[in-house]
Amino acid sequence: MSRVVYPGTFDPITNGHLDIIQRAMSLFDEVIIAVAQGQHKQTLFSLEQRLQMIETIIQGWPGESCVSVRGFDCLLVDFCQQHQVKIILRGLRAVSDFEYEFQLSGMNKNLHPEIETLFLPATEKNHFISSSLVKEVCRMHGDIDNFVPANVKAELLRKLR
């Protein structure tokens, strides 16, 4: 049985992240979306809110039982070990992502040599999406319909306007 962890801060989750998750579902038997507490970032949404938004989105998806959402507040490699997962999945949007992702995967490999990181290139239409940009566009009254699902848009409007 192949299992993969897709980690991120997801503050909030965007269509770019969802694209990676849906493609991962066709490649692996089980996908665990690991939502980082986010010690390294000042988040707009609490961990509970970010988990709730993702759970609402995946409810009713075909193959829903193969995806789960978990919060974590420890090293990613420790989370992987706790869940007996040896593969971390990350999306790559542009060359600019590569340097950071290469460093992250190198550190994780050093911490736990058995755990591998795999990269999926973002679909072209999602190359420019980031959670920060979506928040900025929303804050400035721009249209975010193409970047996030309806429930995430509603939460962003509640928080930012």
Given a contact cutoff of 8 angstroms between Cβ atoms, the answer to whether 106 and 99 are in contact is no
Which segments of 34-130 does DSSP mark as H helices, in order? 47-58, 76-82, 95-111
Is 76 a binder of ligand COA (CB under 6 A)? yes
Given a contact cutoff of 8 angstroms between Cβ atoms, the answer to whether 44 and 71 are in contact is no
Closer by beta carbon to ligand COA, 9 or else 57: 9
Is residue 144 classed exposed, middle or buried when 0-12, 13-18 and 19+ CB atoms within 10 A define those classes? buried
Least separation in angstroms between CB 66 and ligand COA: 19
Is 8 a binder of ligand COA (CB under 6 A)? yes
Which residue, 6, 20, 8, is CA-closest to 132? 8
- Give the whole-angstrom CA distance, residue 56 versus residue 94: 29
Q: Which of the following is catalytic: 2, 41, 125, 127?
A: 41
Least separation in angstroms between CB 10 and ligand COA: 6
Is 131 a residue of the active site? yes
Binding to ligand COA by CB under 6 A, coded x per residue (else -) over 95-134, reads ---------x--xx-------------x---x--xxxx--
Instruction: Give the range of 7-15, 22-30, 61-69, 138-146 binding ligand COA by CB under 6 A.
Output: 7-15
- Give the whole-angstrom CA distance, residue 147 versus residue 80: 29
Is 17 a residue of the active site? yes
Which residue, 130, 54, 144, is CA-closest to 161? 144
Query: How many positions of this chain bind ligand COA (CB under 6 A)?
Result: 25
Catalytic residues: 17, 41, 93, 131
Residues that bind ligand COA (CB under 6 A): 7-11, 14, 16-17, 20, 36, 40-41, 75-76, 91, 93, 104, 107-108, 122, 126, 129-132
